[in-house]
Structure formats: structure tokens, C-alpha cells
Amino acid sequence: MAARPAVLEVRGLRKAFGATRALAGASIALEAGEVHVLLGENGSGKSTLAKIVAGIHAADGGEILVRGAPAALGDARASRALGIAIVFQELSLAPDLSVADNLFLGREGASHPFRVIDRRAERARCRAVLDRLETEIDLDAPVKGLSIARKQIVEVAKALLQQPLIMILDEPTATLTEREKAHLFAVVRRLRAEGVALLYITHHLREVAEIGDRVSVMRDGEVVTTTAVTPELTERRLLELLTGREVATEIARVPPAVGAALLRIDDLHTEGGCRGVSHHVGPGEIVGLYGVVGCGREGVAQALAAAR
């Protein structure tokens, strides 16, 4: 992809929370019409950087430029006015309100604080932005009845109502199935084609090749490298950039010891969503529980720890 002028430049951002250093001079630049992946382990500073760009946190130092002009630090309203929108991993929708009301929420005085609200016109705008995302979500449906994936699309639609120049997606696939993720990626590609600059935050290596044009890797509060996404940029290489050390080509697997199960779970039911879970763990064995957030895996752990 040919280099284009940056619509967003982050230069030397620093941020500490008490004695914890979250950012140590992080810098990154976004171009219009690109998906720029921000990759890093948990605690590397990805979300802190995003929240500073969105005006939610104030930086201790550094600067942000939008289209070459300095932007205010720590002012969410000013960031929105500059065309910066963010979709958080933790959804911010009001579950008991309809889709239309959630999209409209906070926009009551968008053009003038004392203007008369034209509900019909606002509904038409909401429908138009959902159609833009090629989704048939009912505007009158209560949000609490939607799937996680559809709630995520409503969040994206709400951000699009700001007509953003820059959109930040913070770990958007954390709670999605593979099918739901494919739909979200289709939306992201559509926005890229429309010229939106997208900062896509993740810690999943596979998503870099699936959705990214460029990738910046964060480690210990710094952006350690930025590079184009090419076939030569393997997951192994990304892992080396993430960890700062070489990765072994093979990992020796030690067979588990043979013996009676040390832990057995039979037909476990919990208030946390577990229904008929059965499993066992043998001596020297590591068993992983895998699934999206809300599938019940947390309920198993809490039940085993007598926390539920």
C-alpha cells in the first residue's frame, strides 16, 4: 500500500497510573482507508493509548495530531468533534432501550442544544447507518434481546453516526464466534473502502493477517515496530516481536502420567450458565477450558473454587 498523509499521529505518549507506567513514549500513525492493527499482550498499553486518543484519559506527555493539527489531550468531546470514534470491548448500550433509542442516546442536542428533536428524521438516519453496515437489525428491538455480535454492530453504527474520520475498535472479537467475527470483518473492510482510518486493537496473532494492512507491535508501553502486513510476516515472527525473544520452532510435549483422575466433574450445573458439564483431570495433565465470554467457562472455575 502506497504511503499517504497520516490522518492521525501519536507522538511520544507517556502515561502512568500511580507507580505503574502504562505508556513510555508510544508513537503511531494512521492513514485514511487502512486497517492498522495495534498488537500487544495484555498490559502492553494498547487500551491506554486508545483511550488517550479518544480523550478519555489525559496523557502525562506527548502529543496527538489530527490531519497535522494538534489535538487536545484528555477531552472526549473535542476528540469526537475532530472525528475520532471508539468502540470498546465492554459494550456501553442500555439493555432495556430499543436499538433506535440507543443509537439516538447522547445525540439529542447534537446540532443545537435547544433544537426540536425530529424523531422521524433521526430514525431515518439510524436506519441508513444500519443499512450501510448491511444488517437488518430491527430499530424497535430491545437491545437486551440481541446477540453479542449484533450488539457489537449497534455499537459500530452508533460510532458511525458521528461521521468519524478515525475509528478505534478495542478488542472487538473477544466475545464473538468465528461466524460473527467474519461479519464484523466484512463491516471493517467496508469502512476501510469508504476511507475511514481504523485502529484495530487485538492480542490475537491470526487477526493481523486476516484484517490488517499494517501492524504496530506494543511491548511494555512502547510501540517497538510498525510494518506492512505481508505473507512473510508470520505468526512466529509476530510472536518474537511481542515477546522480544526468539521462539522455538517446536515445543517438546511431555506425555501426562498415567493414573486415576485427580479431579472429576460430573454433570455440573451452575447459575453462571453451566449445564451438564463433565470432565476429568489426570496427574501431570493440563486441561484448558476454551470458549467466548459468557459461555460458562467462568462458572466452572468459580464452582471449583467454591466461589459460586
Q: How far apart are CA 258 and CA 142, in angstroms?
A: 52
Quote the DSSP letter at residue 115: P
Q: What is the pLDDT of residues 238-256, one digit of tens each?
A: 999 988 888 766 666 767 6
Distance of CA 175 to the CA centre of its chain: 10
- Whether the full predicted model's pTM is greater than 0.85, yes or no, is no
Q: What is the pLDDT of residues 188-209, one digit of tens each?
A: 999 999 999 999 999 999 999 9
Mean pLDDT of 45-64: 95
What are the strands, taking DSSP E only, across the chain?
A: 6-17, 20-31, 35-40, 61-66, 69-70, 84-87, 166-170, 197-202, 214-219, 222-228, 263-269, 275-281
Could you give the domains of the chain? 6-243 (3.40.50.300), 263-304 (no CATH)
Quote the DSSP letter at residue 231: T
Q: What is the pLDDT of residues 206-225, one digit of tens each?
A: 999 999 999 999 999 999 99
Q: How far apart are CA 92 and CA 52, in angstroms?
A: 18
